[in-house]
Amino acid sequence: MPGISNKAIQMPSSPIRKLVPYAETAINQGKKVFFLNIGQPDIETPKNVLDKISNHNLKVIEYSHSAGFESYRKGLAKYYNGVGVDVNHEQILVTTGGSEALQFAFMSCFDEGDEVIIPEPFYANYNSFSIGAGVKIVPVTSKIENGFALPSIEEFEKRISLRTKGILICNPGNPTGYLYTKEELEKLRDLVIKYDLYLFADEVYREFCYDGKEHFSIMNLEGLTQHAIMIDSVSKRYSMCGARIGALVTRNKYVLETVLKFAQARLSPPTLGQIAGEEALNTPDSYFDEVIAEYVERRNVLVDALNSIPGVYCPKPSGAFYVIAELPVDDAEKFCEWILEHFDHNGKTVMMAPASGFYSMPDAGANQVRLAYVLEKNQLIEAVECLAKALEKYPEAMEESAKIPTL
């Protein structure tokens, strides 16, 4: 029988989705599952976007330009200018989600075997994108004890080799919710200039910053005209995950010209998604005021409830809508399977993402989980109540399991 590729063998299962069969079994058993494993908000998509999709006047759903509709790119440039990022539409390329933007960036900027340094824990699919592009991830580990702040520049510098071509950050962070300060970003700026590297920033959670803190884009760091590549998406900003529209933004014209070749090879980004994305730019500011206020309340409810459980520690993030919590278990993945397969509290249980899948270092994050506060507050309270009850029962369940002889 013909074999499969080495890349396919290396491709990891998603820690966000790999437990879906366990959740499906729980549902088939009649349990209610609180899905805190995936960043799919229950926040409604802006009404003006839904109205536009329902009332478009297309007779044919045609290809768009490979770089995306010019009108949409001009609208995006106006949006970026409005948040202090000075770019024009020719420095923006529309992609099929932020995922494709990062894939195109990797394929354009790296050769097979080149290295990218990423603070971990990081968005798990960065592993998949790097494998697809033949790039090696070199992790630098951030710590839960200081809320996953940027590791020291000395730690980054230790990992730079002749194959290092770039550094990738997510700001605010998925899965940590950490919001990098301007000072931290300036340190990274100095490092990439010193070693002539690319600095990639996944900024899809830009709007979601809390406690009076503000997002600072790498596009506003002086001296990075040729180095900075920003990744963006409509998925989280407008609760439009299924639209599959993202963007790659850079002032480096050679990178843009190269990315366009990959974009031409996949023909064009989704036409209907771009129509939705362009209309989303007309979303009133009041939408974000309400959404941000809601996320702050959800964050506070979730973090406070988690930290009230004996043995659980969860830092309070300043952005995005994720937290990483440390649990009093040895193997969080095993616990996440067990809570779905063998546990319920009043007919309810919880689906979480084992945090080990967000690390590259072996055994890192083994007792941590990522939770997304994408459900309304009462459901979050119930979910944490289930988690607390499960943690009470888990040691006894493991003890009983150990007594069962194996065949």
Per residue in 28-53, pLDDT (tens digit) is: 999 999 999 988 889 999 999 999 99
Taking CA atoms, 205 is separated from 111, 134, 159, 238, 275, in Å, by 29, 27, 27, 10, 21
Cis amide leading into 121 (omega within 30) = yes
* Residues 373, 319 share a domain: yes
Q: Kindly report, residue by residue over 50-89, the tens digit of the pLDDT.
A: 999 999 889 999 999 999 999 999 999 999 999 999 999 9
CATH classification of the domain holding 143: 3.40.640.10
- 12's tokens: 């990891």
- Walking along the chain (407 residues) 10 residues at a time, the average pLDDT comes out as 86 78 92 93 94 92 96 98 96 97 98 97 94 96 97 98 98 98 98 98 97 97 97 96 97 98 97 97 95 97 98 97 97 95 95 94 92 96 97 88 62
Which of 241, 262, 280 is at the close of a domain?
280
Structural domains counted in the chain: 2
* Residues 217, 290 share a domain: no
Distance CA 154, CA 117 (A): 13
* Residues 367, 238 share a domain: no
Q: Can you give the residue range of the structural domain that contains 378? A: 6-44+286-395
Task: Answer yes or no: is 275 within a domain.
Answer: yes
* Residues 146, 36 share a domain: no
* Residues 169, 80 share a domain: yes
Which of 280, 295, 320 is at the close of a domain?
280
CATH classification of the domain holding 381: 3.90.1150.10
Distance CA 184, CA 99 (A): 25
pTM of the model: 0.94
* Residues 306, 267 share a domain: no
* Residues 104, 211 share a domain: yes
SS3 readout for the chain: CCCCCHHHHHCCCCCCCCCHHHHHHHHHCCCEEEECCCCCCCCCCCHHHHHHHHCCCCCCCCCCCCCCCHHHHHHHHHHHHHCCCCCCHHHEEEECHHHHHHHHHHHHHCCCCCEEEEEECCCCHHHHHHHHHCCEEEEEECCHHHCCCCCCHHHHHHCCCCCEEEEEEECCCCCCCCCCCHHHHHHHHHHHHHHCCEEEEECCCCCCECCCCCCCCHHHCCCCCCCEEEEEECCCCCCCHHHCCEEEEECCHHHHHHHHHHHHHCCCCCHHHHHHHHHHCCCCHHHHHHHHHHHHHHHHHHHHHHHCCCCCECCCCCECCEEEEECCCCCHHHHHHHHHHCCCECCEEEECEEHHHHCCCCCCCCCEEEEECCCCHHHHHHHHHHHHHHHHHHHHHHHHHHHCCCC
User: What was the pLDDT predicted at 404?
Assistant: 63
Q: Which residue has the tokens 């009983």?
A: 400
Buried b (16+ CB within 10 A) or exposed e, 327-340: bebeebbebbbbbb
337 and 16 Cβ atoms separated by less than 8 Å: no
The alpha carbon of 194 is separated from its chain's Cα centroid by a whole number of angstroms, namely 28
* Residues 29, 80 share a domain: no
User: What was the pLDDT predicted at 17?
Assistant: 73
Task: Answer yes or no: is 104 within a domain.
Answer: yes
* Residues 166, 313 share a domain: no
Taking CA atoms, 111 is separated from 61, 117, 140, 168, 201, in Å, by 36, 15, 21, 16, 19
* Residues 94, 35 share a domain: no
* Residues 296, 276 share a domain: no
Task: Answer yes or no: is 188 within a domain.
Answer: yes
* Burial status of residue 399 (CB atoms within 10 A of its CB: 0-12, 13-18, 19 or more): exposed
User: What was the pLDDT predicted at 13?
Assistant: 75
User: What was the pLDDT predicted at 373?
Assistant: 97
* Residues 275, 150 share a domain: yes
Task: Answer yes or no: is 179 within a domain.
Answer: yes
